[in-house]
Structure 1
Amino acid sequence: MATAEPRGQALTRATLAEMPVRLARRRTLRDWLRAAWKLRLSVLGGLVLLLLLLIAIAAPVLTPYTPSEGRIVERLQPPVFLGGSWEHPLGTDGVGRDYATRLMYGARVALAVGVLSTLVATAIGVCLGILAGYYSGKVDWVISTLVNIMMTFPFILLALAVIAVLGPSFLNVVLVLGIGSWPIYARVVRVEVSRIKALEFVAAARVIGLTDLRIIGRHIVPNLVNAIIVIGTVQIARLIITEAFLSYLGLGVQPPTPSWGYMLFESQAFMFNPAEWWLPMLPGLAIFITTLAINLVGDGLRDVLDPYQRSSL
C-alpha cells in the first residue's frame, strides 16, 4: 500500500513540474515586443544587415550592368540626388562604370571576406582554446605562449607582410585575416573552459566514465556558443574594415573584382573636388553603415545571450 505524501511536499512537486509551462506562458507577444523595443537599435541594425545581404546576393538581378563594364563617354555622371539620371542612380566613376553596381558587388566581397575569415579564426581559436583550458599544464603553456607571440606583432603589419609575400588575392586575404585573428578566440575560450570544467556536472560526467571527447562535445562546447557568437559579430566588422584597408593599399582583392577599399583608392583624387565629392563618400559610407549594423547586432546578441542581461529584457 502506497504511503501518502505530506500535502506540502506534494504541492511543491506539482509546482516544480508546472514551472517550465508557466514560464513559457509568461512570455507573451507583448513581452517580445517590449524586449524588441529595448533592443530597437540592434533590431534596426539587423534589418539593415539583412537588406545589405539581400542586395549582395541579388546584385546580378538588381542591376543591368556588370561591375567592370564602363563607357568612357558616360564618365563622372552625377548621382540622382545631384541632378543625375535614373539610368545611373548613383552616378558613374572615372571610367564610366555604374557606381551602384560596383557598390552592390563590393558588398559581396566585404561580407564574404568578413564571414569566411571569421569562420577560419573561430575554427582555429576555439580548438586551441579548448585544448588549453581543458588539459592545462604543458598544453596550456604552449598554446598561451603562441597566443602571446601572435598578439605581440601588430595585426595589420603582419597581414601586410604576409600578403606582400603570398600575393594579393581573395583567398589569401581570407586566410591571412583568419589565421591572424584566432588569438582572441583562444584567450576567451580558454578562460571559459577552465571555469566550466570545474563545475559539478563535468565532474559527474567524469565519474560515470565519459571520455574527454564526449565531455567536451556534449558539456563544454554548448556552453561556449554564446561567447563565440558575440566575439564573431565584432570580428566580422573589424575584418571588413581591415579588408577595405588592404584593398585601399592594393594588397586586397584585386581588380576587376570591385572592393569598397579599392573604390576609395580610385576616388581619392576627387576627394576635395566640389563636383565629384560623392565618389569617395559612397564607398566610405557603405563601410561605415555595414560595420555599424554588425556592431549593433553584436550588442543585441550579447544582451540576449547573457543570462544576467536577459533577465532585464
Structure 2
Amino acid sequence: MTAGEITSVGTAGAAPEHVEGRGAWLKKLPVVHQLRQSVGLQRGMLVAGIVLTVAFVLVAVFAPVLAPFGWSQLRDLDGAFGAQQPPSAEHWFGTTVGGYDVLSRVVWGARTALLVVLVAVLSSIVVGVLLGLVSGYFGGWLDRVLVVIADAVYAFPSLLLAILLAIVISGGQSSMWGGILAAALSITVVFVPQYFRVVRAEVVRIKAEAFVDSARVLGTGHWRIMTRHVLRNSTRTLPLIVTLNASEAILTLAGLGFLGFGIEPTAAAEWGYDLQRSLSDVTSGIWWTALFPGLAIVLAAMGMTLVGESLNDLADPRLRSRARSGQVSGAVAATAVGESVEADASDPANPAAAEPREPNPKGDDA
C-alpha cells in the first residue's frame, strides 16, 4: 500500500465531519436538534407546532402590513363599515357588533398576544431563575422561606390570581401598554414559581458535584461558581417550560379579556374581549364574530403546546423513540465478524487458510 493510499484511507472517515462542521452550529440549536432526532408521530407533532407558532409570530410582526384596517377603525373613504356585516370582498371576516373589521382585529390581536407573551415569559425567567439559583445554592432559612412562598403562589388558582393582580395594577382596564404590562405582570407572578422550582432542584443537585467542590477548593468566588458552573448546567429544561408557558400566557390573556379585565378595545385588539362581545351574536346566527377570534386563540395556543409537548417527549429517554437505522458506520467488511472470517479464510497469505480443518468427531463446531 502506497503512502497516498494510506492517507486516503486514514482520512476517509474524518471527511464527512469536516464537511459538516460548517453547519454544526445550526444542528445544535434546541428546536433543530430535536427536529432531527424526532421520528414518526413525534416529528409530525413538532413540525405542526413549529408551523403554527411561526405563522403566529409572522402575523404578529407584520400586522401593520397584513391588517387592512386599524384595530379601532370604524370607517374608510366610502363611509362607516356597519355593524355585524357578513364576510364579503370588502371585509373578508365580516364586522363586529361595534362595527370593527374582524380580520383587522384578529391580526392586530396577534401582536398584542405576542407582546404579552414576550414580556411575561422574559420577566418570569429573570425573576424565577435568579430566585431559584440563590435559594438552591445558599440554602438555609432563605431557601425555606422562598420555597413556602413559591408553593403558596403555585397552589393558588392561576386565573384568579391574574384577575386580582390585573385589578390591582390597572384597575381592570387601561391603555395599550398599560394593559399589556398589567396582563404580563399578572401572568409573570403565576409563572415565577414554576421556574423557581425547576431551577432550584437542578442547582441543589449540581452544587454537590465534584467540579463545584473543585472550584471552591481553588478559591473561586460564589458569584463565579453560580454563574459559570451552576447556572449553565441547570437551565437545560427551560426551553420546554417556555413553550408550555407561552401557550398558557395566551390562554390567560384571553381569559382576562373575556371576563372584562383586559385591554380596552380602543387601546388595542384582544382576542378574549372580541370573543366575549360576540357571545350574543351566536344565538342570532351571526357566527363570524366569534369563530375567527376563537380560532386564533386555539391555533396559537395549540401550536406552542405541540412544540412544548414534543420537546418534553424527546427530552425523556423513556418516551423518545428512535428510528432503526440499517446503515453501519464504516466499511461492513471491517465490522462484520462473519465476513471478516471469510475474508481471512480466502486470503492466500493467511497461514490458517492453507490448513484444512478436521471434522469434529462429536459433530460440534471446534
TM-score of the pair, normalised by structure 1: 0.82
Equivalent in the alignment of 2:339: none
Equivalent in the alignment of 1:145: 148
Equivalent in the alignment of 2:57: 53
CA separation in 2, counterparts of 1:312 and 1:203? 37
CA separation in 2, counterparts of 1:182 and 1:58? 30
- 1:156-235 map, 5 Å: 156-166=159-169, 167=171, 168=173, 169-235=179-245
Equivalent in the alignment of 1:129: 132
Equivalent in the alignment of 1:92: 95
CA separation in 2, counterparts of 1:266 and 1:155? 24
Q: 1:205 to 1:309 in 2, by over 3 A?
A: farther
CA contact 1:163–1:172 (8 Å) conserved in 2: yes
CA contact 1:124–1:179 (8 Å) conserved in 2: no
1:39 is paired with a residue whose SS is: helix
Which one has a bigger Cα radius of gyration?
2
CA contact 2:271–2:294 (8 Å) conserved in 1: yes
CA separation in 1, counterparts of 2:37 and 2:220? 43
1:240 equivalent in alignment to 2:250: yes
1:65 is paired with a residue whose SS is: coil
2:38 is paired with a residue whose SS is: helix
Q: 1:223 to 1:305 in 2, by over 3 A?
A: farther
2:278 is paired with a residue whose SS is: helix
Output the amino acid matched with 1:262: Y
Output the amino acid matched with 1:295: T
- 1:255-270 map, 5 Å: 255-256=265-266, 257-270=268-281
Q: How many residues align?
A: 286
2:290 is paired with a residue whose SS is: helix
- 1:288-299 map, 5 Å: 288-299=298-309
What is the deviation of 1:300? Answer: 3.0
- Which of 108, 112, 126 is equivalent to 2:111? 108
Equivalent in the alignment of 1:6: none
TM-score of the pair, normalised by structure 2: 0.71
List per-residue Cα deviations over 1:233-270 (Å, max 9, x = no partner). 11111111111111112211222111000001111111
List per-residue Cα deviations over 1:264-303 (Å, max 9, x = no partner). 11111112222x1221121111111111100111123334
CA contact 1:120–1:178 (8 Å) conserved in 2: yes
CA contact 2:119–2:181 (8 Å) conserved in 1: no
Equivalent in the alignment of 1:77: 85
CA separation in 1, counterparts of 2:258 and 2:35? 43
1:139 is paired with a residue whose SS is: helix
Equivalent in the alignment of 2:296: 286
What is the deviation of 1:157? Answer: 2.0
CA separation in 1, counterparts of 2:81 and 2:135? 61
Alpha carbon RMSD of aligned pairs, Å?
Answer: 2.8
List per-residue Cα deviations over 1:204-254 (Å, max 9, x = no partner). 222222111111111122222321111111111111111111111221122
1:116 is paired with a residue whose SS is: helix
Equivalent in the alignment of 2:44: 40
CA separation in 1, counterparts of 2:207 and 2:295? 45
CA contact 2:35–2:43 (8 Å) conserved in 1: no
CA contact 1:113–1:239 (8 Å) conserved in 2: yes
What is the deviation of 1:190? Answer: 1.0
CA contact 2:247–2:301 (8 Å) conserved in 1: yes
What is the deviation of 1:96? Answer: 2.7
List per-residue Cα deviations over 1:17-66 (Å, max 9, x = no partner). x8x959x78x99xx976736542211221111111111111111123311
CA separation in 2, counterparts of 1:249 and 1:260? 12
What percentage of residue pairs aligned between the two structures are identical? 36
1:67 equivalent in alignment to 2:71: yes
The gaps in structure 2 that reach 5 residues or longer are 1-9, 28-33, 174-178, 324-366
Q: 1:33 to 1:130 in 2, by over 3 A?
A: closer
CA separation in 2, counterparts of 1:36 and 1:89? 39
Q: 1:155 to 1:234 in 2, by over 3 A?
A: same
2:53 is paired with a residue whose SS is: helix
2:98 is paired with a residue whose SS is: coil
CA contact 1:120–1:179 (8 Å) conserved in 2: no
Q: 1:139 to 1:32 in 2, by over 3 A?
A: closer
What is the deviation of 1:76? Answer: 1.9
Q: 1:308 to 1:217 in 2, by over 3 A?
A: farther
1:162 is paired with a residue whose SS is: helix
Q: 1:216 to 1:70 in 2, by over 3 A?
A: same
CA separation in 1, counterparts of 2:313 and 2:136? 25
What is the deviation of 1:93? Answer: 1.2
